[in-house]
Amino acid sequence: MGAMIQKDDGFDAAKSEPAIRFGHVSKVFGGVRALDDVSFEVGRGEVHCLAGENGSGKSTLIKIITGVYRPEPGAEMEYFGKAETSVTPNSARGRGIAVIWQDLALFPEMTVAENIAFDTLLGIRPRLVSHKGMRDTARAALAKLGVDLDLEARLNTLPIAQRQVVAIARALVSDARLIFMDEPTASLTQAETDHLLAVVRTLSAAGVAVVFVSHRLAEVLEISSRVTVLRDGRLVGVYQTQGMTQSRLTELMTGKTFDTVVGARDTAANRKVLEIENLTRRGEYEDVSLVVRAGEILGLTGLIGAGRTELCHTLFGMTRPDRGTIRLNGKVLTMNSNRDAVAAGIAYVSEDRLALGLVQPQSIADNLVIPVLDRISGADGLISRRKKGDLVRKWLVDLAIKTGRPEDAVATLSGGNQQRVALAKWLATEPKVLILDSPTVGVDVGARAGIYKIVRALADQGLAILLISDEVSEVHFNADRILHMAGGRMIGEYDPRRTTLHELEEAVYA
């Protein structure tokens, strides 16, 4: 985690004219000061990082810059050399400011060309749509990024990485000169992330400034020239990323020091809980064999196409293997659905918390009890309010989930607390095996430490855990053993106590 980042991106903040310059920015909501006298500046063509934990004020600052919120009196605002006293979303767009939020705000049923050229269709007067014009506009925007996509493909058929490119291309069509990217790599594989960072460098070379907001600190330090750190609504400072370490940046963001040590233990003598032998599903994975023991955290890592998530889907009954055997506590399992997996004692926390892990509009309490409705229902089939309340209170306390009321929508929680709800939801089923697929995606560094602590405590209680992540450091510091998967096959096994993080990263990224 403390690896030094050495790079030369060629950007000199002292010589660059500012794209935007904000000073003395404050914002109060109902007596709560979300921002307190913050300054923020981004150079033209600069790739800049805005860092801080959830609740630090990052989103509030972005919404002030983009005209969604008005700052308190006394703020100084300057866009491309021109001072402003009042900004609206329309005027901010007119000045070349664009935001690509984590949910992308695209139209899944529309084509690539229609999504990219959408803003050109807007206007006061109705008019006929030129499909050729849309395609030409979209093709030109993608060409600026050095990307070629099927313009007639519907967006919902594309992987998330290509949807990110569509969102960036749409911003370019609107003549964006400064683009904010909110958690752009949260759902991407390492290879997809590398491609997106290459696109960002292309934008920077063309003079477009980019502000990166991400919890993945390694990529933040790799791609950006400077980082502005916020904590509790205040400016901690602006730092050069040359020579910055992840551990130092974490300290600046949280005000705390985290000891990153290998937590591996010897679990070889523990009872076998999950056994997989020669499991194969054509086109996804082949001859996969592994064992997860009671009280063990088995790490599984690998790059794009490794077959990690596809293996998870089979272990959770969502797909069926072509051949091979799955045993749980020595008994062969045949699963036709995820209901069979839950009944057998297998729980799965998906990497896609927004789409598969939680029902965002529903309450925290309802999300938590979804898998165990039969346990909290009476003989008449009606849910017992008492049993539901007792169960919800137990897990809110046990996992230290910070919430206003259990009746609040789960979407109101921070990423870290949403992930704790997703964990609680499956722990309520009292599983024998817990599969965690990228459990800290979109979770800030402070909250990550809390989740790792919970996972280790569960293992200490005897739960068998399969921890899957494309962040090599995550499995290195938190797993007892590590398996490396590539091209659908297991190709290596490592003991974190005898393998350095650098050695493991070299093996995985080779």
User: Who has greater pLDDT, 417 or 503?
Assistant: 503
Which CATH number does the domain housing residue 450 bear?
Answer: 3.40.50.300
Mark whether 423 and 491 lie in a shared domain: no
Mark whether 426 and 437 lie in a shared domain: no
Structural domain that includes position 196: 47-62+96-254
For residue 73, pLDDT over 70 is answered with yes
pLDDT band at 3 (very low <50, low <70, confident <90, very high): very low
Measure the CA–CA gap between 142 and 168, rounded to whole angstroms.
9
Q: SS3 letters for 352-393?
A: CHHHHHCCCCCEHHHHHHHHHCCCCECCCCCECHHHHHHHHH
Task: Answer yes or no: is 360 within a domain.
Answer: yes
pLDDT band at 503 (very low <50, low <70, confident <90, very high): confident
Task: Answer yes or no: is 265 within a domain.
Answer: no
For residue 155, pLDDT over 80 is answered with yes
Number of domains in the chain: 3
Task: Answer yes or no: is 30 within a domain.
Answer: no
CA angle 416, 422, 428 (to 5 degrees): 130
User: Who has greater pLDDT, 15 or 322?
Assistant: 322
The stretch 477-483 carries a mean pLDDT of: 95
Length of the chain: 510
**Average pLDDT of the chain, as a whole number:** 86
What is the model's pTM? 0.62
Last residue of a domain, one of 374, 397, 430: 430
Q: 213: left (phi > 0), else alpha (psi -120 to 50), else beta? A: beta
For residue 341, pLDDT over 80 is answered with yes
Cα torsion through 428, 430, 431, 436, rounded to 10: 30
3-state DSSP assignment of residue 80: coil
Mark whether 221 and 368 lie in a shared domain: no
112-146: pLDDT as tens digits = 999 898 877 655 455 567 788 889 989 988 888 88
What is the reported pLDDT for 4? 34
For residue 7, pLDDT over 90 is answered with no
Mark whether 243 and 274 lie in a shared domain: no
Task: Answer yes or no: is 178 within a domain.
Answer: yes
Mark whether 293 and 340 lie in a shared domain: yes
What is the reported pLDDT for 188? 66
User: Who has greater pLDDT, 481 or 302?
Assistant: 481
- Helix-helix angle 415-427:385-398, to 10 degrees: 120
283-294: pLDDT as tens digits = 999 999 999 999
Task: Answer yes or no: is 19 within a domain.
Answer: no
What is the reported pLDDT for 260? 67
The stretch 283-311 carries a mean pLDDT of: 91
What is the reported pLDDT for 8? 44
Q: 74: left (phi > 0), else alpha (psi -120 to 50), else beta? A: left
CA atoms within 13 A on the CB side of 326: 25
Mark whether 141 and 218 lie in a shared domain: yes
Mark whether 334 and 372 lie in a shared domain: no
What is the reported pLDDT for 22? 97
Burial class (CB in 10 A: 0-12, 13-18, 19+), 9: middle
pLDDT band at 444 (very low <50, low <70, confident <90, very high): low
Strand order across the beta sheet in which 346-349 lies: 346-349, 433-437, 464-468, 297-301, 481-486, 489-494
- Region of poorest pLDDT, from 143-152, 394-403, 476-485: 394-403
Q: Which of 348, 346, 389, 354 is nearest to 369 (CA)?
A: 389
pLDDT band at 53 (very low <50, low <70, confident <90, very high): confident
For residue 56, pLDDT over 80 is answered with yes
What is the reported pLDDT for 127? 57
210-262: pLDDT as tens digits = 999 887 777 788 889 999 999 989 999 999 998 887 778 888 988 877 666 88
Mark whether 448 and 490 lie in a shared domain: yes
Mark whether 210 and 142 lie in a shared domain: yes
Task: Answer yes or no: is 176 within a domain.
Answer: yes
Mark whether 212 and 115 lie in a shared domain: yes
451-466: pLDDT as tens digits = 888 889 899 999 999 9
Task: Answer yes or no: is 451 within a domain.
Answer: yes
The stretch 482-494 carries a mean pLDDT of: 95
Mark whether 107 and 204 lie in a shared domain: yes
What is the reported pLDDT for 491? 95
- Region of poorest pLDDT, from 71-85, 234-248, 320-334, 394-408: 394-408
For residue 195, pLDDT over 50 is answered with yes
Measure the CA–CA gap between 328 and 274, rounded to whole angstroms.
5
β-strand partners of 272: 293
pLDDT band at 377 (very low <50, low <70, confident <90, very high): confident
The stretch 201-205 carries a mean pLDDT of: 91
Q: What percent of the chain has pLDDT over 70?
A: 89
Mark whether 438 and 506 lie in a shared domain: yes
Is residue 113 within 8 A of residue 138, CB to CB? The reply is yes
78-112: pLDDT as tens digits = 999 999 999 999 999 899 999 988 777 888 899 99
Last residue of a domain, one of 430, 459, 478: 430
Task: Answer yes or no: is 7 within a domain.
Answer: no
Last residue of a domain, one of 430, 457, 492: 430
Token digits for 411? 């979407």
Cα torsion through 335, 338, 339, 341, rounded to 10: 60
What is the reported pLDDT for 5? 36
